[in-house]
Structure 1
C-alpha cells in the first residue's frame, strides 16, 4: 500500500501542490481491502418500470423490491446496449434509495433506453429489469401542480438534520489563529452554536479526538501515560455551545501507532493500527471512564461512541479489513466495559460500504452494534432497513454521520444554490426512515487539505469564513421553520414529485394557530447542471385546501435562487477577478443580504368558498421556495 510520509504541515512538492492534498487526490478512491464477508443476496430486478417524458427530463418509476437497500439506474442508446450506470456526476455512490428518478442528462427528441437493478448491498447488484424507452420533450407539456390538504394529518414531521452535524476536528474551535482576517475558533464556535440555536442540532461529530494535538497518550520509559486535559477543554467548549459530542474514536496517537509515518490531512492524523492492542484497549477504556466521571449520566443517555472513520479507504486506514474488525471489537469492548448502557457503533464507512460486513461479523462474535453509521456524497442516502432485517436487527438506528453534495474538497458546487436543493432532496428522502443525516460540515473553517485561501473556495461548510449563510444553510433553516404536523400532499404535472418536490406542515413557530408552510424546490441530481438550467424551470401551481372558507391569510413567499438569498453568488458577481476576500464595505454589503429574501412582498389572500388558496409562480432550476399562510 502507498503511504503518506511524515512532512511538516504545509510542506509542498516542487510543483507547489501541498503534499497532503496531492496524496489525498492520489489515493482517495483506493480501498483498504475488498468486501470480505456477509450474506447479501442477489435480488430480482424491479417490475413495472415506466419512463415518463417531460420537458428536458425523463421521470422513471418502478415497483420496489423487498430486501433492496437501493437501485442502480442503467442507460443505453439502443435496446441492445452497451449499458452503463446512469452517471449524474455525483462522484461517489450513484445508486438511489427509491423511485422516482429524474434523468436530465438526455437530449430532447433523442430516445434512450433505461433499466434498473436492485441492490442488497452497495456492491451486490442483481440483474437489470426489462428496458423501457423514452425521449425528453423540448418543453414542458403542462405545469407542475402541488396540492396540500391543510386539514389533514400525515403524522409528525421528521427532522433528520437535528440529531447531528459534522465539523472540523474540534480542537480547531479553540484556535486563536485567523483565516481571511477572521478568528478561526470564534467563528467555528459561532457556526456550531447557530446550528444548535437556529437548526435544532443536538450533537456534533468530528475527527481526531485522540490526535496528538490533544496529547492524550505518550510513553515515558516505555510505559503508557494518559492525559485527557486536552479532551476536557474541547468537550467543555462544545457543551458550552449547547451541543453534545458524538465521540468518533480516532485517530491513532503517535506513540501507540504501529507505523506513525502513515498519515492523512494537513494536520497529519495517524491512520495506523495500534502497535499494542492491550494498550489501545486501556486508552479507550480510560477515556470512556474519564468522560463518564467528568460529565455524568448524560454520557450514558445522550452521548455515543463511533469506531474510527472510513476504514474501508486506504487513505484513512493503513491496516487490513480484518484489523479494522479487531479494532471495532476491542474498542467496543473497552467502551462497554465502563458501562454496558453506553452506545457504540460503526463502521463509519465511506460510500455506504462495510455495513454488511460489520453486521455479519457482529452476528458471529456478539460484538455490540447499537447503531450503524456510514457515509455517502452526491446522492440521497440508501435505505439500510432491509439489511438490518436480514440480521434480525430491525429498529437499529441508522446514522449517516457524513453526507453531502460532493466528496471533493474545493468544489464550486459546495457554494451553489444547487447544493441547497440537493440538501432538501436528501432530507426529504430520509424522513421517517433514517434517524440521523449529518451534513458534512457546518463551517468553511476547515483545514483537512489546507485552510481556505479565499471566501468562495468550494468549502464543505454550510457557512462561510466570515459567518455568511450559504444557500444550503437556508435549506435547513426553511425545513426547521416548518410546523410539527406534516400535511398530506400530492404533486403532479411535468416533473411534479420528481424534478419538483415539496413538503408541507402545519403550525409554524410551535403554536397550533392554523399556519401552513409549503416548501417546494426544483432539483436534479445531474451535477453537470449545477450552475442552473433554464430549460428545467417550471411553472408551479400550489393549491392549499382545507382552509377556512372565506378566511383571510397573510401569504409570504421566501426564495433561494440565483437572485435571492445567495450571498456566495452575490460575492462572485461583485468581486474583482483575482480578489480573494471582501473589503470592509463589501463585507457590509454581503451581511446586509445575509437573510432569507422574499420573492414578493407579503400580501393578504382569501380562501375561496371551498377553503382553498392557489399560488402560481415560476420555480427556476435550481431554486427553493417557502410559502407560509398565516391566519390574518
Structure 2
C-alpha cells in the first residue's frame, strides 16, 4: 500500500471520527452559582437597508450578550448568524442580516454571567429590515447621492489619542510544529520549508511574537517511552523544533499536549489524522515527572530568562469529547498536577488554561484553583464565528482582576474545508474581532498561519477552505491583508465617530496618527452572518471619511482596497480557471498578482478649514485603507 493511500485512508477515518464527536461537550462538576445579572435595558432596534441594528445599555459584570429573535407567534430563540460556535457577542451594537427584509421580527437580549449562563431577557422590540437593492459598489458617483445609504466616518486627527493596541501581535496558531521538520510535500510544495517561511512572514510582516501549536508531547517527537518498565525522556526532537522556531525570531506558547503512547491510560483514544492520543495518563506521577523533566531541559538549553517569556498552557479543548477522553474532574486534576510540576522547576514560569473550546470551563477552572490553591497566571480559551467574549468581569469576580486573558485560538469558522476561510468575508470578520478585542485581551491568536495543516488530512487543492492566513505556497489570502493593513495603522489611536445606516454594526473604522503626522484610517463593511459570505447588494454602502484637525497645507492620499476584485488571490485563481494545483507557469502568475491593490491612484488633497473629505463606495464584504501623509 502506498504512503499516499495510507494518508488518504487515515484522513477519511479522522474526518468521520471528528464529525461524530466534535459537538459532544463535557458536562458535570462544579455547581453553577445563582444568576445575579440584570436584564439589559434601553434596547433599540433601528431598521436599515438589508439589516436591523440592535443597541442596548451594557450590563455591569456581563461577559457578553445573547441576542434572541422570533417571527410571528414563535417563541424567542437565540439568533443564529451561522458561525458554527458561540453565538454570543461581547458588546453592542449588533447587525442582524439574517432576516427577510420587510418581514417584522421581535428581538430581545440577555446578558451572560458565563458563556452558558444567560440572565433574564430584556424587554422586546419589533421591527423589520428595509428592502431595496443598492447599486453594486465600485462606481464613481459621489457618496450619498440618490438612494444609496451613506455612512459618515468622522476622524479628529488632532484629538486625544491612546496607544494603538494590536492583539494579533502576541501570538498566532500553527497546528503542530513538528511540521517544521517535514521533508514531505503537499501539492508539490515542501511542507517544512514553507511552514518556516509562513512563520517568518508572520514575524516580519505582522509583528507576531510567538506561536501556539498542538502536540509537543506526541510520539512523532519521541519525548517519552518506557524501556523494561522504566521511563525514558528524550527531548532532542523538541530541541530541533524550538531551535527552528527561535531562529525565525518567534517564541513558543508551550501547549502541553497530547499524551505519549507509553504513558496513556487508553492509547486507542485518538484525534486527528496523525493519531494524537487524548486519554488521561495511566500514571499521574510519571506524567508530572515528564513535565518537570521537559521544563528543566528547556531552561537548561534556552536559559531561565528566555523560558520565562513562554506561557505554559495545559492541554487543548478538554471540554470536547473529541479532545479528552476523561472527565472534567480528571482534566482539573491534569491542570493542577501539570502546573504544579512546571512551577516546581521555576516559580517564575507562566502557567494557565483551560484552553477550552467555545469559551467553556473558564469559570470552572477558576473555581478549582480558588479551592485548591493551584497556580494560574492566565485564562485561555477559544471561539469561532464571533468576536471574543469579555472575561474580565469573570476574573474579577474570582478576585483575580490581573489575570492574563489569552484567546489562543480564534477564527471565522471551526469547520475544516469551509470555503468561507478563503473569502473576503473572513477578512472583514477578522478586523471586527481584533478591534473588539483591543484593550481588553492580552492576545487574540488567529488560527492559523499556514494552510500546511493536516488535522483531518493534508490539503487536497490550493483553495480548499484551509484555516491559514497563507495558502500552501504562501500566497496571501484576503484575511492576511486585513491584518497587514491593521498593522499599518499609526502608533496613536484616534477617535472615530460613525453615523448612518449600519454605522458601528455593519460598517466600522479604526483610525490612528503616526509620530510624523501621517493619518491612517481603516474602514470595513462586514456582517457576522455567514449566509451572506458571498455578499449582498443591499448591504453595500457609500462611505464618506471626514478628517478634521489636519495641519495646514495639503496631504498625499493613498487608498488600498480588499474586496472581491482587489487583493483577492482566490479570484485571480478563478480567473485562471485553476484546477487543484497550479502549474509552474501558474505559480509565477499567482505570485505576480499576490499584491495589496491600490483602489485609486495617489492624489494630493488640499486642507480646507482644517479638514478634508474622501468619498468611496464600499461593498459588503470589503475594506478600504486610507493613508494621508503631509505633502512637502
Which TM-score bucket, shorter chain as reference? over 0.9
**1:529 and 2:527 are equivalent in the alignment:** no
Which stretch shows the higher mean deviation, 226-235 or 80-89? 80-89
**In 2, are the aligned partners of 1:374 and 1:402 still within 8 Å (CA)?**
yes
3-state DSSP of counterpart to 1:375 = strand
1:533, CA displacement in angstroms? Answer: 1.2
Q: State the secondary structure of the residue aligned to 1:362.
A: helix
User: Quick check: 1:22 aligned with 2:21?
Assistant: no
> Could you tell me how far apart the structure 1 residues matched to 2:290 and 2:153 are?
56
Q: For residues 585 and 439 of structure 1, what CA distance do their matches in structure 2 show?
A: 32
Distance in 2 separating the partners of 1:55 and 1:23 = 43
Query: Against the structure 1 CA distance between its residues 460 and 278, is the aligned structure 2 distance closer, same or farther, given a 3 Å change threshold?
Result: same
Report the Cα distance in structure 2 between the residues aligned to 1:514 and 1:37, rounded to whole angstroms: 55
Task: Please tell me whether the aligned partners of residues 312 and 350 of structure 1 are also in contact (alpha carbons under 8 angstroms).
Answer: yes
Query: 1-side partners of 2:270 and 2:439: how far apart?
Result: 38
Distance (Å, rounded) in 2 between the aligned partners of 1:543 and 1:522: 17
8 Å CA contact 1:12–1:18 kept in 2: the answer is no
Residue 298 of structure 2 contacts residue 307 of structure 2 at CA under 8 Å; is this kept in 1? Answer: no
Q: How does 1:334-483 map to 2 (within 5 A)?
A: 334-483=341-490
| 2:108 aligned with 1:115 | yes
Distance, in Å, in 2 between the alignment partners of 1:72 and 1:414 is: 25
| C-alpha deviation, 1:167, in angstroms | 0.1
Q: Indicate whether 1:213 and 2:220 are aligned.
A: yes
Q: Please give the per-residue CA displacement for 1:122-174, whole angstroms capped at 9, x wherever unaligned.
A: 11111211100111112477410000011013300111000000002001011
Q: For 1:344 and 1:401, how far apart are their aligned partners in 2?
A: 13
2:156 is equivalent to residue 149 of structure 1: yes
Rounded Cα–Cα distance in structure 2 between residues aligned with 1:397 and 1:181: 41
Please point out which of 41, 51, 58 is paired with 1:57: 51
Is residue 519 of structure 2 the alignment partner of residue 516 of structure 1?
yes
TM-fit CA distance, 1:572 = 2.4
Where does structure 2 lack aligned partners over 5 or more consecutive residues? Answer: 133-146
Partner of 1:286: 293
Look up the match of 1:597.
Answer: 597
Q: Are 2:68 and 1:74 equivalent residues in the alignment?
A: yes
Contact 1:153 1:485 (8 Å CA) reproduced? no
Distance, in Å, in 1 between the alignment partners of 2:452 and 2:434 is: 24
Q: Which of 567, 572, 575 is matched with 2:574 structurally?
A: 572
- SS at 1:302's partner residue? coil
Residue 469 of structure 1: how far off its partner (Å) = 0.3
Q: Secondary structure at the match of 1:67?
A: coil
**TM-score between the two structures when normalised by the length of structure 1:** 0.95
Within 5 Å, give how 1:293-308 maps onto structure 2.
Answer: 293-308=300-315
Mapped to 2, the partners of 1:55 and 1:365 lie a distance apart of 54
Residue 125, structure 1, aligned to residue 118, structure 2: yes
After superposition, the Cα gap between the structure-2 partners of 1:173 and 1:103, relative to the gap in structure 1 and judged at 3 Å, is same
Deviation at 1:273, TM superposition (A): 0.3
**Is 1:9–1:268's contact at 8 Å kept on the other side of the alignment?**
no
* Higher mean C-alpha displacement, 136-145 vs 421-430: 136-145
- The equivalent of 2:207 in structure 1 is 200
Alignment of 1:164-203 (within 5 A): 164-203=171-210
1:94 is the counterpart of 2:94: no
SS at match of 2:267: coil
Indicate conservation of the 8 Å contact 2:49/2:149, yes or no. no
Unaligned runs of 5+ in 1: 1-7
CA separation in 2, counterparts of 1:395 and 1:546? 37
Check if 1:631 corresponds to 2:624.
Answer: no
Mapped to 1, the partners of 2:364 and 2:33 lie a distance apart of 8
The number of aligned residues is 617
Q: Is the 8 A contact 1:9 1:266 kept in 2?
A: no
Deviation at 1:37, TM superposition (A): 3.7
- Whole-angstrom distance in 1 between the partners of 2:209 and 2:34: 34
1:499 maps to 2:492: no
Select which of 542, 546, 571 maps to 2:545. Answer: 542
Looking at structure 1, the residues matched to 296 and 16 of structure 2 have their Cα atoms a distance apart, in angstroms, of 39
* Offset of residue 9 of structure 1: 8.8
Cα shift at 1:381:
0.3
**CA-CA distance at 1:300 after TM superposition:** 4.2
Asked if 2 retains the 8 angstrom alpha-carbon contact of 1:552 and 1:606, the reply is yes
Q: In the aligned structure 1, how far is the partner of 2:159 from the partner of 2:5?
A: 61
Residues of 1 paired with 2:225 and 2:129: CA distance?
63
Q: Which moved more, 1:33-42 or 1:45-54?
A: 33-42
Partner of 1:318: 325
In structure 1, what is the Cα distance between the partners aligned to 2:29 and 2:3? 34
List structure 1 segments (4+ residues) > 4 angstroms apart after TM superposition.
Answer: 8-17, 139-142
> What is the CA distance between 1:595 and its match in structure 2?
1.2
SS in 2 for 1:329: helix
Once the 2 structures are TM-superposed, how far is the Cα of residue 200 of structure 1 from its aligned partner?
0.5
Q: 1:583 corresponds to which residue?
A: 583
Contact 1:35 1:354 in 2 (8 A): no
Please name the residue that 1:46 is paired with. 40
Distance 1:373 1:44, change over 3 A: same
Q: Within 5 Å, which residues of 2 pair with 1:217-236?
A: 217-236=224-243
Contact 2:428-2:622 at 8 Å conserved across structures: yes
Q: Secondary structure at the match of 1:18?
A: helix
Q: Which residue of 2 aligns with 1:617?
A: 616
Alpha-carbon distance in 2 for matches of 1:300, 1:173:
20
Provide the C-alpha distance between the structure 1 equivalents of 2:497 and 2:374, rounded to a whole number of angstroms.
44
In structure 2, how many angstroms separate the alpha carbons of the residues matched to 1:106 and 1:545? 37
2:100 and 2:264 map into 1 onto residues whose CA distance is 54
SS of the residue 1:167 aligns to:
strand
Contact 1:500 1:522 in 2 (8 A): yes
Q: Which residue of 2 aligns with 1:4?
A: none
Supply the distance in 2 between the matched residues of 1:458 and 1:13 (Cα, whole angstroms).
Answer: 19
* Partner residue, 1:559: 561
Task: Give CA-to-partner distance per residue, 1:586-628, whole Å, 9 cap, x none.
Answer: 21121111111011111111110x2111000000000011000
Task: Tell me, yes or no, if the aligned pair for 1:42 and 1:124 is still in contact at 8 Å.
Answer: no
- 2:11–2:456 Cα contact (<8 Å) kept: no
- Cα RMSD after superposing both structures: 1.7
Q: Distance in 2 between matches of 1:246 and 1:98?
A: 29
1:162 aligns with 2:169: yes
**Alignment check: 8 A CA contact 2:10 2:457 kept:** no
Matches of 1:586 and 1:600, distance apart in 2: 27
